[in-house]
Amino acid sequence: MTADTRRAGADVVSRGRGYASCHHGEILQGVFLDGRGRRRAGLVTLPMYGLGTTAEFVRRPGTDLSVVPADRTKALRAAGLAVEECVRLLGGPACGGELRLTADVPVGLGMGSSSSDVIAAVRAVADAYGLRLPPQTIAALAVRAERASDPLMLDGRPVLFAQREGHVLEVLGEALPPVVVVGCTLGGGRPVDTLSLPARRYDDEEVQAFEQLRSALRRAIADRDPALLGHVCTASAKRGQRTLRHAEFDTLRHVARRTGATGVQIAHSGNVAGLLFDPAGSGLRRRMRHCVHALNSNGIPVTRTFTTFTTTEEIPDGSATGRAAERRDGRAHRGVDRPAGPDTPRRPAHMSAL
């Protein structure tokens, strides 16, 4: 067995660990057509590594399931579903145990904090059973646990993901175009209750518009075009304002124009936002310093800078940052010669805050 084990009387207590990163909101979110022409809710998230949830699960036969902190009910539900799945695969009786979560993802800002909790919990339970569940199974369990899930169980490739169904509608390419993101928070950083938002109804014109943005994003990825990526982000954010109505949206767009940002990115279910910059653009450091000053001067707190690519270059705050995937912890998620795939681990990244 790959998980830590120790014997307690006649029972074996097993311990497993799991990790899942967060994201920085959506690049694109709306309703899209699947291969059969049916309308499907879908989204493309902006990966941001360095923040996430670490889960530890201790199997204790003959006990109930519990979670610490006690308010992480979605993660607890996910742990129960994961136990059922592991028992289905391995046989034997179901067991209880304790799930402990340690997270540094801000809650309610649209960064996938609940999905991070849920996916880390599923991975920890699987690890305690000595299993490594495939991404599609984790996605299915996550949707059952929280009704909709972000695609944090995947490998970071840009995908159009049906968040309410837990599967990929389209793999858009291998990697996002290179951009540097100046992150910030809107609405005073107040959490957003996504369940309280009015339900959107999309007419044929809107569905067609989202399909055009999907095609544009596909081209941006194929051509590694930061400007086209910024256009997609801004257009999607603008449509999202019909529901979210951020007071700072016009200010963000004004700052983006003044500083030469390629676009504005806003979470569709929270208050996290970002301005995107082409790293190959002239005067990048100067323009980013100008951006940070302009945002702070307008009462929009800057949080952190990060990129969609791996780099050792320094950015204007003097710190190095870049794209690197999260640890998928637990011994069942480790392997030296395992071929790369949707759940392959990589080195953790440090994301510097401004």
Which residues have CB under 8 Å from 168's CB, separation 6+?
A: 151, 154, 159, 160, 161, 162
Total-model pTM: 0.84
Tell me the mean pLDDT in the region 61-65. 91
Q: Let me know if residue 349 belongs to a domain.
A: no
- Band of the pLDDT at 44, cuts 50, 70, 90? very high
What domain range is 320 assigned to?
Answer: 4-333
β-bridge pairing 65-68 and 96-103: parallel
Q: Let me know if residue 353 belongs to a domain.
A: no
- Band of the pLDDT at 56, cuts 50, 70, 90? very high
Question: Residue 51 sits in a domain of what CATH number?
Answer: 3.30.230.10
- How far, in Å, CA of 79 to CA of 126, rounded? 9
Tell me the mean pLDDT in the region 60-79. 95
- Band of the pLDDT at 3, cuts 50, 70, 90? low
* pLDDT given for residue 269 in this prediction: 83
* pLDDT given for residue 195 in this prediction: 57
Question: Using one digit for the tens of pLDDT, what is the confidence trace for 155-188?
Answer: 788 999 999 999 999 999 999 999 999 999 998 8
Cβ atoms of 86 and 131 closer than 8 Å: yes
347 is written with which tokens?
């080195």
* pLDDT given for residue 162 in this prediction: 97
- How far, in Å, CA of 132 to CA of 111, rounded? 25
Q: Let me know if residue 213 belongs to a domain.
A: yes
* Local structure of residue 166 (DSSP, 8 states): T
Amino acid identity at 161: F
pLDDT at 314 over 50: no
Q: Is the dihedral of CA 217, 220, 224, 227 positive or negative?
A: negative
Is 322 or 235 the better-scoring residue by pLDDT?
235
Average pLDDT over the chain, rounded to whole?
A: 85
Question: Using one digit for the tens of pLDDT, what is the confidence trace for 235-291?
Answer: 999 999 988 889 999 999 999 999 999 999 999 888 999 999 999 999 999 999 999
- Band of the pLDDT at 45, cuts 50, 70, 90? very high
Q: Which residues of 261-275 are buried (b: 16+ CB within 10 A; e: fewer)?
A: bbbbbbbbbbbbbbb
pLDDT at 21 over 90: yes
* pLDDT given for residue 2 in this prediction: 46
* pLDDT given for residue 155 in this prediction: 76
Provide the number of structural domains found in the chain: 1
Q: Let me know if residue 338 belongs to a domain.
A: no
Question: Using one digit for the tens of pLDDT, what is the confidence trace for 323-336?
Answer: 433 333 344 333 32
Q: Let me know if residue 245 belongs to a domain.
A: yes
* pLDDT given for residue 4 in this prediction: 57
* pLDDT given for residue 198 in this prediction: 63
Q: Let me know if residue 344 belongs to a domain.
A: no
Tokens 């759940």: give the residue. Answer: 343
Question: Using one digit for the tens of pLDDT, what is the confidence trace for 86-144?
Answer: 999 999 888 899 999 999 998 889 999 999 999 999 999 999 999 999 999 999 999 99
- Band of the pLDDT at 18, cuts 50, 70, 90? very high
Q: Which of these ranges, 8-17, 202-211, 238-247, has the smallest mean pLDDT?
A: 8-17
Q: Let me know if residue 260 belongs to a domain.
A: yes
Tell me the mean pLDDT in the region 68-88. 97
Q: Which of these ranges, 1-10, 24-33, 105-114, has the smallest mean pLDDT?
A: 1-10
* pLDDT given for residue 137 in this prediction: 98
Q: Let me know if residue 162 belongs to a domain.
A: yes
